[in-house]
Amino acid sequence: MSKEKLIPRHIAIIMDGNGRWARMRGKERSEGHIAGMDALRETVRNVAQAGVKYLTVYAFSTENWGRPQAEVDALMELICKGVEMESAELVKVGIKVKTIGDRSRFSDKVKASLEKIEQLTQAGENMTFALALNYSSRSEITTAVRNLAERVAQGEIKAEDIDESMISSALYTSFMPDPDLIIRTSGECRLSNFLMWQASYSEFYFTPTLWPDFDKEELERALEVYSTRDRRYGLVK
Ligand code: FPP
């Protein structure tokens, strides 16, 4: 009897290796990000077609502000261009775009772009696509703890009422289940401040492929490996 393939409900991706991809071709790092955007466009469609309901990508970390200004500017430009070029197609294929992270540090232009794409795609029912922007797990958890502490101080909740589900609800990711599968490209095997709370029981898939080269075949390989994993959540079979 053939066993039905297990499809993750939520995939999260650390898209790494754009800079190395560019350097190997004698190009500017920003060109690596442009190629990375092409890979992202394809991956969003491929992941949705595979039947996955949530996709989260690490697009800009709180640490990325420390990169050369020209590179930060190029990434900001890519966000705005991406919104301009992809919105109509995302609406057509029923993909709802959300952002996670602290948007306050972005320029008014970037903020307006993000608000626009969230608003235009809000009725999408096939897949939710979350862009982690100015995101880091530690700052997310710090913000959540501060919010809960304020609610305790206001007398809205009691300290002893705080449980795991209340903490999950106070995170940027409250509208999504935890990721089943976390993929990182470029051969690095670390989480880099991404979804640390949410990754408690995630499966990890690391590939040496640089992000701009991550294609449908690569995704299929990751899904194949995932379907062979035995998820026990600390229990015994
Ligand atoms: C990591 O590669 C990639 C990023 C920091 C940015 C990810 C951005 C994209 C995939 C393009 C789409 C952009 C947005 C903002 C939607 P790296 O630069 O760290 O590569 P390296 O480790 O080889 O230097």
Residue 105 contacts residue 73 (beta carbons within 8 Å): no
16 classed as catalytic = yes
Residue 111 CA to residue 223 CA, distance in Å, equals 34
Q: How many CB atoms lie within 10 A of CB 87?
A: 17
Best residue for ligand 1 mutational test, from 14, 16, 24, 118 (most atoms within 8 Å of Cβ): 16
pLDDT (0 to 100) of residue 2: 46
Helix (DSSP H) and strand (DSSP E) numbers for the chain? 7, 6
pLDDT (0 to 100) of residue 120: 97
Give 97-147 pLDDT, tens digit per residue.
999 999 999 999 999 999 999 999 999 999 999 999 999 999 999 999 999
The set of protein residues with a Cβ atom below 6 angstroms from ligand 1 is 15-20, 33, 36-37, 40, 59-60, 64, 75, 78-79, 82, 186, 211
Q: Which atom of ligand 1 is nearest to the CA of 210?
A: 23
| Homologous superfamily (CATH) for 10-136+178-227 | Decaprenyl diphosphate synthase-like (3.40.1180.10)
Best residue for ligand 1 mutational test, from 75, 81, 215 (most atoms within 8 Å of Cβ): 75
Q: Please enumerate in sequence order all residues whose Cβ is within 8 A of that of 48, keeping only pairs 6 or more positions apart, or say none.
A: 55, 93, 95, 126, 127
Residue 11 contacts residue 20 (beta carbons within 8 Å): no
Ranges of each domain in the chain: 10-136+178-227
Residue 221 has phi, psi (to 5 degrees) of -65, -45
Residue located nearest, by CA, to atom 3 of ligand 1: 16
Which position among 64, 178, 193, 213 bears the catalytic label? 64
pLDDT (0 to 100) of residue 3: 55
Residue with the two structure tokens 């194949």: 224
Q: Which atom of ligand 1 is nearest to the CA of 20?
A: 23
Q: E strands along 113-215, which residues?
A: 127-135, 181-184, 203-206
pLDDT (0 to 100) of residue 1: 43
Q: Which atom of ligand 1 is nearest to the CA of 131?
A: 16
pTM of the full predicted structure?
0.95
Ligand 1 centroid – CA 32 distance (Å): 8
What type of residue is 81?
K
Give 9-51 pLDDT, tens digit per residue.
999 999 999 999 999 999 999 999 999 999 999 999 999 999 9
